[in-house]
Structure 1
Amino acid sequence: MTTNPTVMLVVAGLLRDEKGRFLLQKRPPGKRHAGLWEFPGGKVETSEMPRLALVRELAEELGIAVGLPDVGPIAFAEHDADADGPAIVILLYNIERWTGDPLSLEGGEIGWFSQGEAMDLPKPKLDRDLLEALIRPCSQASPA
């Protein structure tokens, strides 16, 4: 019997403005993936449900309030464990509504980007995978 490797569960939010642009944040200096753009979110803590973790993370990182009914699953991406760390699974949730204006509260930049602009930004692989899943029509999805 083999044991499963440790998996880090991460949540991220897809926020769109009235023009349909995506909100992305830049990782601050000194953190892993510093200088790369990603969907806002963070790690799910032990015994925490993913949607609640995302509500907490968006409040901590962006200063916005999100209600649970406004959080819906939209995509996921995963990365196997390697020498740099554990396996990672990112769950991306669509955020229908929020209260407050998103602000960068943890030191990195934030910005609103069109789909094309977002694709051109330097991003960690899993955020690239999530963005590609959002823009790829279902008919182009490759079979498992």
Structure 2
Amino acid sequence: MPEPAPRVVVGAAILDGRAVLAATRAYPPELAGLWEFPGGKVEPDETEEVALRRECREELGVEIEVGERVGGDLPTMNGRYLLRVYLASIVSGEPKPTEHAELRWLEADALDSVPWLPGNRPAVEALREVLR
């Protein structure tokens, strides 16, 4: 029986000037304390952009405008998920960590100051150039 296709998850590299919003996982226990771009799973009836706006509304309490993709497809969780990261900007609201332990704005020289989820690391590297 063939392996199921990986499920697409989207992440928002939300920019504010020369900084990007990073979020630390509160759960599950094996990922708690690691940092990521806010976002989540794309539901079957959603586009990636719609899913990203919904996830940011649910997780952060903000409305975003979705921009272009950063980097390529990033396999995560042993290939079960395919992460796609998009540039984004806040249209309204102030980000609050409703599902994350902490939020932090990071400039390019501070991107390595937090332990990123391994699946997010290639997007962090691509984003470093955008922030400079």
Under a length normalisation based on structure 1, what TM-score does the superposition of the two structures give?
0.78
**Quick one: distance in 1 between partners of 2:28 and 2:69?**
30
- 1:89 counterpart (82, 88, 111): 82
Q: Which residue of 2 aligns with 1:52?
A: 50
**Quick one: distance in 1 between partners of 2:76 and 2:35?**
21
Contact kept in structure 1, 2:76 and 2:83, CA below 8 Å: no
Q: Which residue of 2 aligns with 1:117?
A: 110
Tell me the SS of whatever aligns to 1:16. Answer: strand
TM-aligned CA deviation for residue 107 of structure 1: 4.1
- Asked if residue 71 in structure 1 is aligned to residue 69 in structure 2, the reply is no
* Structure 2 gaps, min length 5: none
Q: How many residues align?
A: 129
* Structure 1 gaps, min length 5: 138-144
Range 49-58 or range 31-40, more displaced: 31-40
- Compared CA separation, residues 36 and 15, structure 1 to 2 (3 A): same
**Quick one: distance in 2 between partners of 1:39 and 1:101?**
16
> Sequence identity of aligned pairs in percent?
31
Tell me the SS of whatever aligns to 2:15. Answer: coil
The RMSD of aligned alpha carbons is 2.2
CA deviation string 1:87-144 (max 9, x = no partner): 321111111342011111114210111112122310111211111122258xxxxxxx
TM-aligned CA deviation for residue 61 of structure 1: 0.5
Structure with more strand by fraction: 2
TM-aligned CA deviation for residue 5 of structure 1: 3.1
Counterpart amino acid of 1:78? L
Structure with larger Rg = 1
Under a length normalisation based on structure 2, what TM-score does the superposition of the two structures give?
0.84
